[in-house]
Amino acid sequence: MIMDLSHALKNLSAKVDSGFDDAVAQLTRHVAVQSISSQKPDDVRSGAEFVAAAAREAGAADVNVITENDGLPAVIAHWPAPEGKPTVLLYSHGDVQPTGNLDEWHTDPFVATTRGERLFGRGTADDKGGVAAHLAAIRAFDGKPPVGVILFVEGEEEIGSPSMEAIIAGHKEELAADVIVIADSVNWTQGVPSLTTTLRGVVDCVVEVSTLDHALHSGQFGGIVPDALTTLCRLIATMHDETGEVTVDGLKGFAGPELDYPEDRLREETGVLDGVQWVGRGRAVEKMWTKPSVTVVAIDATPVKDAINILPATARAKISLRVAPGQDAGEAMEALVKHLETHVEFGAHVKVTRGQLGQPGIVPFTGKRAEIANEAFKLAWGQEPVEMGTGGAIPLVTDLQNAFPQATVLVTAVTDPESRMHGIDESLHLGDFRKAILTEALMLAGLAE
């Protein structure tokens, strides 16, 4: 197998190089589509049509833009398998997060811009870069890959993939594959590839605390009547102890891999301010990958600029929980809800509204197909991939594992820790992008053997 892939390396490397500018140009055009799934559904539909057209140009035998349950569209394209060859499903998503404050971006987020060795723009890294890598790997074989290929690009990942269960159920035969490559994770560092073997899940809810049927004058009744916002803050504080460790009963975690995440690297990647301490107990890789975390992602209350001296009657917050691999997300949701309902003080009324639910994942990197992938990484990057976890959620991983239990699942990446996915100045390292394309092309060649 090593000799076969080594023999394929020269030809595929030349093919990837000759098509690289086209891959970057296609990614640039895709970035221009403002496919923010939480805000611009029409642009998500335009993005799906863009991907469908690109798949046809790359030689797909059939391409379908599909929806389920009135959700946002996904694209399924096929390159049929030659006789006796396996089929590989290549997944990415075409929707993106909102931009945040546009004034903080150095360039227009929807105009892909090269600075140094990086391409900046919303979606370059997460995950239009993954879409472009899949298509470029297919084009390296002139649109006729040596194995069957299914390109599967959804448009709802950034809002929790609410249609995914129905899409898989309704199109199971069209998605059936022997190997599934999910290009939506992050590499260990720039220049060092990874395969993700554990992923945290995610659940969220909105908690509303009420203490009054109307707001009161804070001078007249402050000191005797509990206001809703202070009560909500005290409730939120019960979810962590003095070290920042999560205190919600019923949440589970486990020891992480034997990897050292250097503190200086972590401080540089996070931009944590001087003097700010880490929260929680245990090693960094455990706190980020294999233990639960609870975050307050939003609070509804009177804005400071509109503040008046009143006791607020009602306040609410959105709570996001990252679920450790191995725990059922539904079980974790119920533990969070129970904690919020039973820890509110002063007899305040509390209402919890459940939100999204995405399962965590455990993805073993074993078997002959994994060995082929490992060899592809070694040849393309000059080193084996680091097996690591990620704190982010890709619920689709578990959905596909359940639907296709015999398939080998590989969670790969086109991004690195400097890519700032979801953040300001999101970017993709162009050298790593090329290596990701070559890795995927080598995997397809190796799996054909």
CATH for 14? 3.40.630.10
By the 8 A CB rule, do 411 and 195 touch? yes
Examine the pLDDT at 438 and tell me if it is beyond 80: yes
Band (5; pLDDT cuts 50, 70, 90): confident
Spatial distance between the Cα atoms of 332 and 374, rounded to a whole number of angstroms: 34
**Which pTM value belongs to this model?**
0.88
Are 41 and 189 members of one domain? yes
By the 8 A CB rule, do 312 and 227 touch? yes
Band (396; pLDDT cuts 50, 70, 90): confident
- Structurally, the chain folds into a number of domains equal to 2
pLDDT digits (tens, 9 = 90+) for 33-80: 999 999 999 999 999 999 999 999 999 999 999 999 999 999 999 999
Between 108-122, 300-314, 389-403, 417-431, the lowest mean confidence (pLDDT) is in 389-403
Give the residue carrying structure tokens 């090269």: 114
Examine the pLDDT at 7 and tell me if it is beyond 90: no
By the 8 A CB rule, do 35 and 44 touch? yes
Q: Which of 308, 330, 358 is the last residue of a domain?
A: 358
Any domain includes 264: no
Which two tokens mark 173?
A: 């035969």
Spatial distance between the Cα atoms of 344 and 348, rounded to a whole number of angstroms: 7
Spatial distance between the Cα atoms of 120 and 110, rounded to a whole number of angstroms: 9
Give 6-13's long-range contacts (Cβ < 8 A, gap of 24+): 6/379, 8/442, 8/445, 8/446, 9/379, 9/442, 12/140, 12/438, 12/441, 12/442, 12/445, 13/438
User: What is the tally of helices (H) and strands (E) in the chain?
Assistant: 13, 18
Any domain includes 166: yes
Band (4; pLDDT cuts 50, 70, 90): low
Looking from the CA of 416 toward its CB, the CA atoms found within 13 Å total: 21
pLDDT given for residue 2 in this prediction: 44
Percentage of the residues of the chain whose pLDDT score is greater than 70? 99
Any domain includes 265: no
CB atoms within 10 A of CB 325: 24
**294: enclosing H helix or E strand:** strand 293-300
Which two tokens mark 428?
A: 């993709």
Q: Give the three-state DSSP class for 304.
A: helix
Spatial distance between the Cα atoms of 200 and 326, rounded to a whole number of angstroms: 9
The domain of 224 spans 201-257+281-358
pLDDT digits (tens, 9 = 90+) for 170-222: 999 999 999 999 999 999 999 999 999 999 999 999 999 999 999 999 999 99
What is the average pLDDT score of the chain?
A: 95
Are 233 and 178 members of one domain? no
pLDDT given for residue 155 in this prediction: 97
pLDDT digits (tens, 9 = 90+) for 251-290: 999 998 989 999 999 999 888 999 999 999 999 999 999 9
Spatial distance between the Cα atoms of 124 and 14, rounded to a whole number of angstroms: 24
Single-letter amino acid code for the residue at 354? R
Which two tokens mark 241?
A: 């102890």
State the average pLDDT over residues 24-29: 98
Are 252 and 347 members of one domain? yes
Band (392; pLDDT cuts 50, 70, 90): confident
Q: Which of 358, 389, 406 is the last residue of a domain?
A: 358
State the average pLDDT over residues 387-401: 89
Any domain includes 49: yes
CATH number of 348's domain: 3.30.70.360
CB atoms within 10 A of CB 344: 19
Are 235 and 379 members of one domain? no
- Of 82, 86, 56, 70, give the one whose Cα is nearest residue 151: 56
CA dihedral 118, 123, 128, 133 (to 10 degrees): 20
- Of 72, 187, 167, give the one whose Cα is nearest residue 126: 187
pLDDT digits (tens, 9 = 90+) for 304-340: 999 999 999 999 999 999 999 999 999 999 999 999 9
What distances in angstroms separate CA 256 from CA 190, 416, 440, one per listed residue? 22, 20, 28
Residues linked to residue 294 through DSSP beta bridges, in sequence order: 321
